[in-house]
Amino acid sequence: MKYYSTRNRNEPVNFAEAALTGLAPDGGLFVPGEIPSFPAAVKSSLGTMDFRDIALETIRPYVREDIPDAVLADLIQSAYPFGAPLVEAGDRLVLELFHGPTAAFKDFGARFMARAFSYLRRHEDRPLRILVATSGDTGGAVADGFFGVEGISVTVLYPRGRVTPLQERQIAALGGNIDALAVEGSFDDCQALVKAAFADEALRKRLVLSSANSINVARLIPQAVYYAAASGRAFAGLVDGDGAATPRIPGSGPAARSRMKGREPVMAVPSGNFGNLTAGLYAKEMGAPIAFFIAATNINKTVPDYLESGVYEARTSQATISNAMDVGAPSNFERMAAHWSWETMRFLVRGASVTDGETRETIERVHQDHGYYLDPHGAVGLKAADLLAGALGGAGPLAVLATAHPAKFSETVEPLTGPVPVPDSLRRVMDREPRSRVIPADSGVLRELL
């Protein structure tokens, strides 16, 4: 498998170079030269295969020249002692992506990246510096995934005052090889600082830099796994029982039952930087049984507007209660546009935007009706599906991606639902004291610190 920059297909690289470089030298994003297909035997068994086996089959074709199968299998077993239950909440399915150590979907990409980077750099002497911009959950997942990894240090940039107190503890309280910078600005400012650092030739000669945002293809590819697993379960008419971290009032869950067997699900994806949705598109192209996607955004609706008009117009991000999606210039749109035309994207993806008022109303309603707690991002996904109900037609079941545990957003959720059950993974974080440095949104300041 060869990888190309979205801006230049004439200089292919292997997976190791694409992953460890992060951003292409010309400022583009690396994309695979082709999207492979699942073998027929795998495609027909997705509903019953173990999550880790699906991970092996999904990731293998992208990395086989650089990571032997036996090593990859060990990396996957180490990265994923948890899975992604597909549970019911009324007539919707919820894909719970918060059963990992930081209670957010970013764990799936970050934990694989940390182990893959460690293997790919096993013969290197120079230390690797990872730069990551976060609007919330990415920073915590990357910090946790890379904490204590020898030969790798991480600098996380996050918008000061725009992440929750718990998210800040996950980002900035580990110390060691994790350095946290609170930027006076938005997530887009943080992202621009990271891109400026990668474009700084003098800096790159002095330091070995890489990224851990979804601009890095090594973080994006593992996220295709849970789409394949969940759509396989839904297509087989199966749902999972509640997991240890499932946020539901005890006794309010539905009885286990099969539903809509043989119908491809619609996947509603809370979307900010659009890496998660891009991973879903990869899974569908590989053969995962997905009807189409709903790109659910908050009022930062750059991509839904593009899907409607065909005109892409990046904007300044606006702060909302679904803060991880406060992105006005989503980096992964460039990757999407490299693979699919506007006409094809309109076929694969429907867009909808949701206000804060609608988000709060959805959290409250789902809790009252079904005893289930949604975080603001999952609520955006579910409300977007409601707004597009008329466009679903005869599609199969609707699965909403719950990208973070609601306890991470208790300041927003609890006034609407009462106390949220807290998983053990988050209880261990609450007593940590965050330690970060405040910097202006100035690339010169970041350069000096690095």
Which residues are catalytic, by number?
106
Residues recorded for the chain: 450
The type of residue at 68 is P
Of 283, 297, 245, 250, which Cα lies nearest the Cα of 404?
A: 245
DSSP 8-state class, residue 158: E
| Residues 344/333, Cβ–Cβ less than 8 Å | no
The type of residue at 285 is E
Of 224, 303, 219, 283, which Cα lies nearest the Cα of 30?
A: 219
Burial string for 213-250 (b: 16+ CB within 10 Å, else e) reads bbbbbbbbbbbbbbbbbbbbbbbbbbbbeeeebbbbee
Burial string for 174-203 (b: 16+ CB within 10 Å, else e) reads beebbbbbbbebbbbbbbbbbbebbebeeb
E-assigned strand segments in 14-91: 30-32, 86-89
